[in-house]
Structure 1
């Protein structure tokens, strides 16, 4: 069962004067990625074909993710009445697909797949938390708080199933860290760049991955504050089996913070955003 409904959001409080126009393109891109989670549920059902409990959980997860996309799309159409969420989503679907006819995880194991899902939920929960704290637009703030709460629950869902599979597959900390960091770096692959392109650029403009990923990331990352990154660090540590409050946490957080904001500035320069 969903924890909230789209119509429960305070749509009548939408305030166009408080919309950050630089943020709208990132919301458009995020909406179609969230909506496309149905394909990921199909992929997960194939990978976990003999695990009915997880398959049921994955299907429910996808329902909530689709709601995220639909709500973000509705907000983006208020912010930009010329934009068509449904047409943009279809364009994204036509442009970008993930392989669905699989029998094994691309991560090499089911534990690895669940580690990767934990990393995705770490990223989305932090993104929507940062956005909820940063935006002054009332509807977007309320929406992002709801989505962030869902994403934290989704992290726990995948984390609990990951621990169940760890007992069978016994993947060590270093291997778990490699999978986790690998999935983090994939955030700069074609999924988000394609989403930005198909939701913001006219079809007659050629797709340029470097330009599109910079345009998306510079906007998505600019709202983060140190407290959001600290929570990310804690969630990554927890996923790979390291005490998030141990002696290394502060040092890793310091390095991660420097790298994160340096990366954001680089993306902003490429995208031409101040």
Structure 2
């Protein structure tokens, strides 16, 4: 079955031939961010299958995951990979992705998921917060028109995915009856996992492909990827990120209002080392 008609946008709608290559090709930091994101997004089918199994018996959520979410996430990967190939054709994307997949596929297991279905949905809200913030930042960073269009599409998808996971989270919170403290712990665990696994593995394999002579040079790795992370850190939409992270905690309005601004000042530390 084809899902093209149900996708809010398609790869074919992007005019890759009109990319202003000279406007972006020199930006190695942006290359690292785009390519690492394309690796993670292109591995979404494995994560989807883990989630579908985790929510066995919940037909509504399983159907959305397998027939909508997975296809949109994989399209993100295909579109980002196509963009990278067009602007940086000398980069062997397939070779880099295979190396990434060999490592990432081994750690992306169902054991990573929260035992509680509701808490796993809270954790999913964290992941969608991170991706929505990432693509909003990339959209702000670039002035290349096709990349601006692509990152806006993906950011909108990720915000919509967040809303869907959040609605299912509320359903399970009522069913399972867990408290705010457990939600907070699940949110914190997933933030730490994002920092230590997904983004680091992807960036490392982009680096290894670009700098094979420095594969074991940790200082060089930190120097090159640190610049990319600094670029992202400076453009993270702090207020949006904090609001999305706090929403599953369902805090009293006065408490949320009191902590939003202080947390916004350190929001970039939530997703970047």
Using the size of structure 2 for normalisation, the TM-score is: 0.85
Q: Which residue of 1 aligns with 2:14?
A: 9
SS in 1 for 2:254: coil
Q: Which residue of 2 aligns with 1:194?
A: 201
More helix by share: 2
Q: Distance in 2 between matches of 1:166 and 1:112?
A: 8
CA RMSD of aligned residues (A): 2.6
| Contact map agreement 2:122 2:186 (CA 8 A) in 1 | yes
Residue 105 (structure 2) pairs with residue 93 (structure 1):
no
Q: Distance in 2 between matches of 1:100 and 1:187?
A: 12
Equivalent residues in 2 for 1:138-177, closer than 5 Å: 138-177=145-184
TM-fit CA distance, 1:62: 1.2
Residue 234 (structure 2) pairs with residue 222 (structure 1):
yes
| Contact map agreement 2:81 2:93 (CA 8 A) in 1 | yes
Query: 70, 73, 94: which one pairs with 1:65?
Result: 73
| 1:80-129 deviation digits (Å, cap 9, x = unpaired) | 12113222221211122255764x77323001110011111011111111
* Most deviating of 191-200 and 63-72: 191-200
Q: Distance in 2 between matches of 1:229 and 1:15?
A: 29
Equivalent residues in 2 for 1:1-274, closer than 5 Å: 1-19=6-24, 20-59=27-66, 60-98=68-106, 102=110, 106-202=113-209, 205-206=215-216, 208=218, 211=222, 214=226, 217-224=229-236, 228-243=237-252, 246-260=253-267
Q: Distance in 2 between matches of 1:207 and 1:160?
A: 45
Q: Distance in 2 between matches of 1:113 and 1:79?
A: 37
1:250/1:165 CA distance change after superposition, 3 Å: closer
TM-fit CA distance, 1:18: 2.0
| Contact map agreement 1:197 1:207 (CA 8 A) in 2 | no
Q: Distance in 1 between matches of 2:161 and 2:269?
A: 29
1:101/1:132 CA distance change after superposition, 3 Å: closer
| Contact map agreement 2:242 2:264 (CA 8 A) in 1 | no
Q: Distance in 2 between matches of 1:262 and 1:95?
A: 25
1:120/1:207 CA distance change after superposition, 3 Å: farther
- Count of residues in correspondence between the two structures: 260
SS in 2 for 1:23: helix
Using the size of structure 1 for normalisation, the TM-score is: 0.85
TM-fit CA distance, 1:77: 1.6
Structure 1: unaligned runs, 5 residues or longer: 268-274
Q: Which residue of 1 aligns with 2:3?
A: none
Structure 2: unaligned runs, 5 residues or longer: 1-5
